[in-house]
Amino acid sequence: MAVDYSKMDSWIQVPTWHTRHALDVRRFNKQLELIVDDVDFHADDMGAYLRATHNISFGSTYSDDLDRYVADAWAVKEFLNASGR
């Protein structure tokens, strides 16, 4: 079964998603929690979905911001795997 990356849409549709403000990071983490435990979850796939559906091309204004969140998602997934969750 495919991961429903659309659960991240409500986070990225907020105009300040890219600012790394505490509320935006919290919103990201709450949405990530809904999908990160899926065995098929891959942060790069999440990033590709968000780029495609929200028109964030590589090298564009928010590309680096999205890359940082993808890295955060990888870190969370690796932590969960390492801790046996």
The Cα–Cα gap between 61 and 56 comes to 8
- What average pLDDT does the chain have? 96
| C-alpha separations of 78 from 27, 42, 43, 50, 82 in Å | 20, 11, 10, 21, 6
Q: Note down the domain range covering 55.
A: 5-82
| C-alpha separations of 62 from 16, 29, 53, 58 in Å | 11, 19, 14, 9
Please tell me the number of Cα atoms within 13 Å of 34 on its side-chain side.
15
pLDDT in tens, 43-64: 999 999 999 999 999 999 999 9
The pLDDT of residue 85: 75
Number of domains comprising the chain: 1
